[in-house]
Structure 1
Amino acid sequence: MAAPIAPSKLQALQETITTFLLDPRNHDLLTILKGLRNGLVYGTKVRFPHALVMVLLFRTGTLRSKATQILTATRTHATNLGLFVTLYKTTMLALRHLSPTGKERSADSFVAGALGGYVVFGRGGSGNSVNMQIVVYVFARVVLALAKLAVSDGPLWYPEAVQASMRSSMVYLYDNAETWTGIRDFLIHNK
């Protein structure tokens, strides 16, 4: 059995990790990793209760087969959301580095979203019921936002056109992946 780590060594390790996390040179890579983390966590938080209710109410089979269905749907949702956020953040970073100004351009988020959407949800994955539900949810929210913008009297800031639940998921997945103050809000809990 391994000996426990001495408190002073544990504190030194924690300080080393915190220094690495807060070093601006590591920010871009760590944003991608935190985006993956946020996608995995959010996908689990959203899908598990939904799958639990839907499977227990509407599926037949043994308790074991129902548990497997719940865990499979949760894993699929979390993995695909984590992969999408990772591809999106990586593509945005690459496009920013390819830009002559070194800054994001207006079409970059569209390109990153289209690429991530195609890779994660488009190539044969659309037959998967979890993916289909995600695509329908996002599509419906985007169409509703576009309709709001089309009938708006004056200038409407475009994030405000998106339904509140969709907007809060976007903040969790993408914006919260940009900031942290240490190990706790990088790995364990956002803000």
Structure 2
Amino acid sequence: MAGSGDSVRALLRAANALLQQRRYHAALAVIKGFRNGAVYGAKIRAPHALVMTFLFKSGSLREKLKSIAQATYAHSRNLAYFVFTYKGLLAAQSGLQGKKIPFHSFLAACIGGWLVFGDNNPINSQIIMYLLSRILFGLSRLAVEKGYIPQPKQDPFPLVAALVWGTVLWLFEYHRETLQPSLQSSMTYLYEDSDVWHDLSDFLIYNKRTDSKLVEEVTFFFT
């Protein structure tokens, strides 16, 4: 037992020594990037998938849990692959040119985005839309910072909020098919299901009457 413990400690010391080697830093950073991408993707997607699945999807408990697991795995895998690809290409470009320049980041991310997130599916679509909104805000701030557009005299956020909500509700009411399915589901719940009720049960307690509840009430009425 003592010999086994000594072997484990020796192995740990060797691993820690390897991790401290500067010449392996770029390769090790790529590996840790893969690890962090997988963990972060799971942390982000699991609670989101849990809430959305139980709020808006029908089916058995097993089917819902399977859907949550699949969405979490897809998000975790894609983010891990992207970070691995991005950091690997970044290190390769820096090694070839001897230094890191801003275009390296853009090119590496473009290639990673094409390879990993190029498939048009619900998970990738949500991630891209999330990033797009942040990009628009970031570019607007950068344009002001660089002097390309003048500093607003008043906070433009109220106007942005008004235009965003005005546009999305107009699209929902008159061009619903252009919106993402999950957004359609959320807005249907908020703005259409709230127009329909039959009694106190589906006015305050439930969103919609279930078939079983209707059968119970009809049976009670005729007995």
Instruction: Calculate the TM-score normalised by the size of structure 1.
Output: 0.73
AA partner of residue 68 (structure 1): K
Partner of 2:59: helix, strand, or coil? coil
Structure 1 pair 64–11 and aligned structure 2 pair: CA distance change class (3 A): same
Aligned twin of 1:105? 101
Alpha-carbon distance in 2 for matches of 1:9, 1:86 = 31
Aligned twin of 1:82? 80
Query: What is the deviation of 1:153?
Result: 8.1
Aligned twin of 2:22? 24
Alpha-carbon distance in 1 for matches of 2:53, 2:2 = 43
Structure 1 pair 64–95 and aligned structure 2 pair: CA distance change class (3 A): same
Alpha-carbon distance in 2 for matches of 1:4, 1:83 = 40
Query: What is the deviation of 1:50?
Result: 0.5
AA partner of residue 98 (structure 1): L
Partner of 1:107: helix, strand, or coil? helix
Q: How many residues align?
A: 148
AA partner of residue 107 (structure 1): F
Aligned twin of 1:48? 46
Unaligned runs of at least 5 residues, structure 2: 148-223
AA partner of residue 8 (structure 1): D
Larger radius of gyration: 2
Return the structure number with greater relative CO, CA threshold 8 A, min gap 6: 1
What is the CA RMSD across the aligned residues, in angstroms? 1.9
Alpha-carbon distance in 2 for matches of 1:4, 1:146 = 60
Question: Which residue, 130, 135, 145 being the options, matches 2:138?
Answer: 145
Alpha-carbon distance in 2 for matches of 1:50, 1:149 = 31
Q: What's the CA shift string for 1:93-118, capped at 9, x where partnerless?
A: 1111111xx11112100001111111
AA partner of residue 10 (structure 1): V
Query: What is the deviation of 1:141?
Result: 0.4
Aligned twin of 1:70? 68
Alpha-carbon distance in 2 for matches of 1:48, 1:5 = 42
Partner of 1:61: helix, strand, or coil? coil
Identity of aligned residues (%): 41
Q: What's the CA shift string for 1:142-184, capped at 9, x where partnerless?
A: 1111112223487xxxxxxxxxxxxxxxxxxxxxxxxxxxxxx
AA partner of residue 103 (structure 1): K
Unaligned runs of at least 5 residues, structure 1: 155-191
Alpha-carbon distance in 2 for matches of 1:153, 1:132 = 31
Partner of 2:102: helix, strand, or coil? coil
Query: What is the deviation of 1:59?
Result: 0.5
